[in-house]
C-alpha cells in the first residue's frame, strides 16, 4: 500500500526538519518546501494527500496559498492543516474561512500533529463503494467525494464535505458543537467551538437550498431538519 504523501511548507528549516522527521517516522511520504512557490510547482504535477502549511511565509503567505488552492478545482479538496506562531483568534478564524481544515499553534507537539493528520486523512476517505446520500436536490457521492445541488457541482473542502455528510445522516437530531467537534474533527479539538460556526456558515453560503434546513440551536449547536 502506497503511503499517504504529505507536503510541508515551513520557512523555518529547524521546524521543517523536525516535522519531516516525525512524519516519516509515522510512515508518511514527505516533501518539504521553504516557500509556497516551490510547493506549487510540484503540486500541479503530483498533488499530495494533505498539506501542512505555515501561515507566515516569505512571498505568498499561508492565507494566499490556501485561497489559491480552494479556488482551483484540481486542489480544492486537498485537506490543509495550518501552522502558526500567532495566537490571535482572528487569524484562526480567517484561516478556517479560507478553507483550512485544521489549525495548530506553535509550539506544538509533533505527536499531536501526526494524530491530527491521521484524523483528517481518515475522515477524508470514502466510506463505501458507490454510497450516495440524497436530500432534496442535494446529492452527496461519498465514493467520488462530489457534491451537487440542482445538478450543479458544488466545491467543498474535505472538512465541509464531512460536516455536511454528518448533518444529513443525523438529520432531526440536535447536535451540540462539542459533539460535532468530536465526531467530525475526530479528536478533542482545542481550537474553540467557533470552528464549527465558521464551517456551518460556509456550508450555508455554498448550498443556498439548505439554509432553511440547518437550524441554529441558541447557545448549543445545530439541527438539520426536513422542513421548517
The enclosing domain of 211 has a CATH number of: 1.10.10.10
67 vs 10: CA distance, rounded Å:
17
Under 8 Å between Cβ of 158 and 124 = yes
> What does the pLDDT read at residue 126?
52
Q: Is 36 part of any domain?
A: yes
Q: Are residues 152 and 70 in the same domain?
A: no
Q: Are residues 147 and 76 in the same domain?
A: no
**Rounded average pLDDT over 164-191:** 78
pTM above 0.85, yes or no: no
How is residue 69 written as a grid cell? 488552492
Pick the more confident residue, 182 or 128. Answer: 182
Q: Which of 122, 156, 187 is the last residue of a domain?
A: 122
Q: Which of 71, 97, 122 is the last residue of a domain?
A: 122
> What does the pLDDT read at residue 228?
52
Under 8 Å between Cβ of 102 and 120 = yes
Q: Reply yes or no: is the peptide bond before residue 107 cis, omega within 30 of 0.
A: yes
Indicate the pLDDT class of residue 184, thresholds 50, 70 and 90.
confident
Q: Are residues 26 and 102 in the same domain?
A: yes
164 vs 84: CA distance, rounded Å:
27
167 vs 155: CA distance, rounded Å:
17
Q: Which of 72, 96, 122 is the last residue of a domain?
A: 122
Is pLDDT of 201 > 70?
yes
User: How many domains is the chain partitioned into structurally?
Assistant: 2
> Average pLDDT over the chain, rounded to whole?
83
Q: Give the residue numbers spanning the domain of 166.
A: 132-224
> What does the pLDDT read at residue 218?
85
Q: Are residues 11 and 90 in the same domain?
A: yes
Indicate the pLDDT class of residue 185, thresholds 50, 70 and 90.
confident
Q: Is 127 part of any domain?
A: no
Q: Are residues 116 and 147 in the same domain?
A: no
Is pLDDT of 221 > 80?
yes
pLDDT digits (tens, 9 = 90+) for 8-49: 999 999 999 999 999 999 999 999 999 998 898 888 778 899
pLDDT digits (tens, 9 = 90+) for 60-104: 888 888 888 888 777 877 889 988 876 666 766 777 777 788 888
Q: Are residues 174 and 140 in the same domain?
A: yes
Q: Are residues 179 and 98 in the same domain?
A: no
**Rounded average pLDDT over 206-224:** 87
Q: Are residues 187 and 81 in the same domain?
A: no
Which percentage of the chain shows pLDDT scores above 70?
89
Q: Is 213 part of any domain?
A: yes
Query: Which residues, in sequence order, are CB contacts of 228 under 8 Å at separation 6+?
Result: 212, 213, 215
Amino acid at each position: 500500500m502506497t503511503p499517504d504523501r504529505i507536503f510541508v511548507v515551513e520557512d523555518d528549516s529547524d521546524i521543517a526538519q523536525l516535522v519531516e522527521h516525525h512524519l516519516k517516522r509515522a510512515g508518511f511520504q514527505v516533501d518539504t518546501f521553504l516557500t509556497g512557490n516551490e510547493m506549487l510547482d510540484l503540486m500541479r504535477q503530483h498533488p499530495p494527500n494533505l498539506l501542512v502549511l505555515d501561515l507566515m511565509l516569505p512571498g505568498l503567505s499561508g492565507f494566499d496559498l490556501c485561497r489559491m488552492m480552494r479556488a482551483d478545482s484540481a486542489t480544492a479538496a486537498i485537506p490543509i492543516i495550518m501552522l502558526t506562531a500567532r495566537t490571535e483568534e482572528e487569524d484562526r478564524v480567517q484561516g478556517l474561512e479560507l478553507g483550512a481544515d485544521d489549525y495548530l499553534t506553535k509550539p506544538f507537539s509533533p505527536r499531536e500533529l501526526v494524530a491530527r493528520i491521521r484524523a483528517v486523512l481518515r475522515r477524508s476517505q470514502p466510506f463505501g463503494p458507490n454510497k450516495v446520500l440524497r436530500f432534496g436536490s442535494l446529492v452527496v457521492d461519498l465514493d467520488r467525494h462530489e457534491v451537487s445541488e440542482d445538478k450543479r457541482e458544488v466545491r467543498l473542502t474535505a472538512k465541509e464535505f464531512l460536516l455536511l455528510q454528518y448533518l444529513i445522516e443525523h438529520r432531526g437530531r440536535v447536535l451540540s458543537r462539542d459533539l460535532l467537534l468530536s465526531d467530525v474533527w475526530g479528536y478533542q479539538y482545542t481550537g474553540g467551538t467557533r470552528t464549527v460556526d465558521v464551517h456551518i456558515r460556509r456550508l450555508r453560503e455554498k448550498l443556498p437550498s439548505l439554509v432553511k434546513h440547518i437550524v441554529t440551536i441558541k447557545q448549543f449547536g445545530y439541527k438539520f431538519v426536513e422542513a421548517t
